[in-house]
Structure 1
Amino acid sequence: MAGAATATSRYSRIREDLDMSIFNSNWREVDTDKVSMNGTPLFGDIFSGAGGLSVGFRSAGFRKAFSAEINKHASETLRHNFPESYHFEGDVADLSETKIKSVLEGRKLDVLVGGPPCQGFSVAGKRQIDDPRNELFLEFCRLVEICQPEFFVMENVPGILTMQKGAVTNAILQKFEDIGYPETSVRILEAAEYGVPQLRTRAIFVGNRLNVKNPYPKPTHSRDNYISINDAMDDLKNLPRDPATNHEWTNHSAAYEARISKVPAGGSLYETFRDAFKRQYSGVPSMAAKENHGGTHIHYEKNRVLSARELARLQTFPDDFFFKGGMKKAYWQIGNAVPCLLAEKIGLAIRAGLTSSN
């Protein structure tokens, strides 16, 4: 329990400071249980990965117009699970305005979502927003400009907010203002506070061109009633391997299993690679899901790593959502995804924003 408490409070100070800042006050919380489900707003998802944001927005009653992802296996997953929408596989820089307009066929895009990697921001020293290493973030901005959605949602790691003592965040907000979205805010959301059985924080930027406060979902859970790892996947622990449902895990030798059996809750199998092969605590949400090239978390009870399907449960993917590319590629896709339930709550909040602006 101690390890879980430490994880959930890791960004508590910056989260509090961010929410209290007068320069980041253009947001409001929405009770997502009371959101009207009238209509079917349209969204696009770029830098989609396996589609955690897409699953969540679909569950919130949105219809997907298109997605874009460069990874081959994640693209196969998206096409398999979202056959009704257009998918662009390749460098998002090659996704042209002409192509987007042909896909939209004159329809208005209500929301554009995505999680562009921001490698250039992580380099020490003074960096400009237009640094070539930030090309993917700039591509996100380009597509926002093209699509002119009522809202956009951009997710990223919360560490981005502390880079260069907040200068990176200010530069991002300024860039969005420059492209016509002066009403942009950023908050840190903890997935466990929205019913996800996992402690996972994300920085969520929301912008709009409707001159309204950006809607964020009101938390539905607290540390007193978090959904535990057991609640999420205990029914899978004794099932045999099943490639048809992604319930597969790394093969372990008897000697390796013996080593795993000695790892205590919160501990790691390795001294020098302590962010992988960590034994999960029972009775609390899991630690943040990781893909780690097959070195995913150790089961809280079994002497093996979690299966891909168990990891997907922690990311709140539905059981009928199938990941293409085999076990290792499934681990990668799942570990890098946005928890679907968190995305759904964000989507419901955005619906409230769309409704209130009409």
Structure 2
Amino acid sequence: MEELNYIDLFAGAGGLSEGFIRAGFNPIAHVEMNKDACDTVKTRTAYHWLKENKKAKIYHDYLKSETKNKEELWKKVPENLINSVINKEISKETLDEIFDKIDNELNGRNVDLIIGGPPCQAYSVAGRARDPHGMKRDQRNFLYKYYVEFLKRYQPDMFVFENVPGILSAKNGVHLENIFKAVRSAGYELALPKNRYKVLNAKNFGVLQDRKRVIIIGWKKELGFTYPNFDETEPKYEVLKDLFSDLQPLKNGEGTLNAVEYYKPANEYLKQSGIRNGLEIVTQHIARPNNENDLEIYRIAVDEWNNGKRLNYANLPTRLIKHNNVQSFTNRFQVVNGKGVSHTVVAHIAMDGHYYIHPDKKQNRSITVREAARIQSFPDDYFFEGSRTAALKQIGNAVPPLMAEKIAEKIKSMLTR
């Protein structure tokens, strides 16, 4: 079967791309402005090439190394693959340069698909709440215009545009309508007005996280497709019993970025989801240090949660309240639901872990980098480059690979039928 090629725009750490690679698609280029995220995608690109060429031991040795040299790892794979990860902000000034780089990578091949979604802060409800202008002046509102420029230039058969549910209400839906108009003017069709997009929840695709995303799918008008139906299921696994069970218990400040052995064998969910995929080591299982004030709040929060309630910051003992604002964001300390699926992991996890308290009171800490990655369904051999903070930011911004894979399988069936 002919190779299906795609370009990933605003690629982040490559969560969306990982799903499409698993489904058999071939990445031509990833475009991303954040250097740490680009480095992560380069390392993952190296992983896929080494695995495909029966040299996976090189990558496994990299994971086991305590002095990781990513540049040395990248030298083990063809240079053009590493260069296909383009570390550029997509803007008016950089567009021609990015086009030139992608054209060089294409080398006469077609682009079958474009995937990706502009940074979501400008569309998110939380982002608008925090910004004094409600994000109305934020230039990220208009990044979709550059996405459309890629559609015009490379004429893929289809595209997948992903974003937060807040895009539906941003500027009372004007931004969404403008996106629809722009892709239509570029020669792409969407489903009938009531089905132009779907709000999909990661928890219905095997991810142990309540994470809703708007997925817009378009196709060249002459193809006559309709919006695909996805096989959504109710979650039957739990965070504590199934997702975290094999990881070494830690206190706050404990753990390591380096490779350690698992605490227990892999269970059904970890195998089925691909989170555990044969390796007997795991990296980046490291917890933040916390002060005694926060640790006491964590204990109270877990007790409240175990009694069926969320902690209200304003109701804490006065001696523990350190923020002047007790009227808004009173849910700033939240426990991950150990007996079900987690609430949404967002990029703010890079700032502090208060919104992601581990449900096991004995461990009394926020979740580790690896636990956050697992909630997002990243496999354990996925290594996030950069500092712990950089890794958490990448994870919080990502599309869950497991959800992406299910979307990719549907797109593949449409393109190959």
SS of alignment partner, residue 280 of structure 1: coil
Contact kept? 2:111, 2:154, Cα under 8 Å: yes
Contact kept? 1:198, 1:314, Cα under 8 Å: yes
Query: For residues 280-329 of structure 1, what are the alpha-carbon distances to aligned partners after superposition, in whole Å with 9 as ceiling and x for unaligned?
Result: 22221100112321324001113110101000001010100000112111
User: Distance in 1 between the 2:170 and 2:380 partners?
Assistant: 37
- For residue 341 of structure 2, the aligned residue among 243, 267, 285 is 285
User: Distance in 1 between the 2:410 and 2:404 partners?
Assistant: 10
- Tell me the CA shift for residue 133 of structure 1: 5.1
1:234 aligns with 2:245: yes
| Counterpart residue number, 2:202 | 191
SS of alignment partner, residue 223 of structure 2: coil
- For residue 175 of structure 2, the aligned residue among 152, 168, 181 is 168
1:96-175 matched pairs, under 5 angstroms: 96=96, 97-117=99-119, 134-175=141-182
1:294 aligns with 2:364: no
| Counterpart residue number, 1:72 | 35
Q: 1:270 to 1:227 in 2, by over 3 A?
A: same
| Counterpart residue number, 2:233 | 221
Contact kept? 1:192, 1:198, Cα under 8 Å: yes
- Tell me the CA shift for residue 39 of structure 1: 4.7
Q: 1:283 to 1:120 in 2, by over 3 A?
A: closer
Q: TM-score, normalised by structure 1?
A: 0.80
> Unaligned stretches of 5+ in structure 2?
50-80, 259-282, 315-325
Q: 1:45 to 1:214 in 2, by over 3 A?
A: farther
1:252 aligns with 2:295: no
Pairwise CA RMSD: 2.6
User: Distance in 2 between the 1:116 and 1:133 partners?
Assistant: 7
SS of alignment partner, residue 294 of structure 1: coil
| Counterpart residue number, 1:35 | none
The size of the alignment, in residue pairs, is 315
> Unaligned stretches of 5+ in structure 1?
1-37
SS of alignment partner, residue 228 of structure 2: strand
| Counterpart residue number, 1:354 | 415
User: Distance in 1 between the 2:108 and 2:247 partners?
Assistant: 46
| Counterpart residue number, 2:367 | 306
| Counterpart residue number, 1:15 | none
Query: For residues 188-209 of structure 1, what are the alpha-carbon distances to aligned partners after superposition, in whole Å with 9 as ceiling and x for unaligned?
Result: 0011111110000000011111
SS of alignment partner, residue 328 of structure 1: helix
- Tell me the CA shift for residue 248 of structure 1: 1.3
User: Distance in 2 between the 1:275 and 1:162 partners?
Assistant: 23
What residue identity is the alignment partner of 1:77? T
User: Distance in 1 between the 2:33 and 2:219 partners?
Assistant: 27
User: Distance in 2 between the 1:221 and 1:48 partners?
Assistant: 27
Contact kept? 1:215, 1:350, Cα under 8 Å: no
Contact kept? 1:214, 1:353, Cα under 8 Å: no
What residue identity is the alignment partner of 1:60? A
Moved more, 298-307 or 160-169: 160-169
User: Distance in 1 between the 2:218 and 2:169 partners?
Assistant: 20
| Counterpart residue number, 1:91 | 89
- Tell me the CA shift for residue 183 of structure 1: 3.0
Query: For residues 63-103 of structure 1, what are the alpha-carbon distances to aligned partners after superposition, in whole Å with 9 as ceiling and x for unaligned?
Result: 11110111111111111111353110011231433322111
Contact kept? 2:9, 2:32, Cα under 8 Å: yes
Contact kept? 1:44, 1:113, Cα under 8 Å: yes
- For residue 322 of structure 1, the aligned residue among 383, 391, 396 is 383
- Tell me the CA shift for residue 58 of structure 1: 0.9
- Tell me the CA shift for residue 111 of structure 1: 1.0
User: Distance in 1 between the 2:333 and 2:247 partners?
Assistant: 19
SS of alignment partner, residue 100 of structure 1: helix
User: Distance in 1 between the 2:210 and 2:44 partners?
Assistant: 26
Query: For residues 157-214 of structure 1, what are the alpha-carbon distances to aligned partners after superposition, in whole Å with 9 as ceiling and x for unaligned?
Result: 1121123443332221111101111235311001111111000000001111142324
The answer to which structure, 1 or 2, has the higher relative contact order (CA under 8 A, 6+ apart) is 1
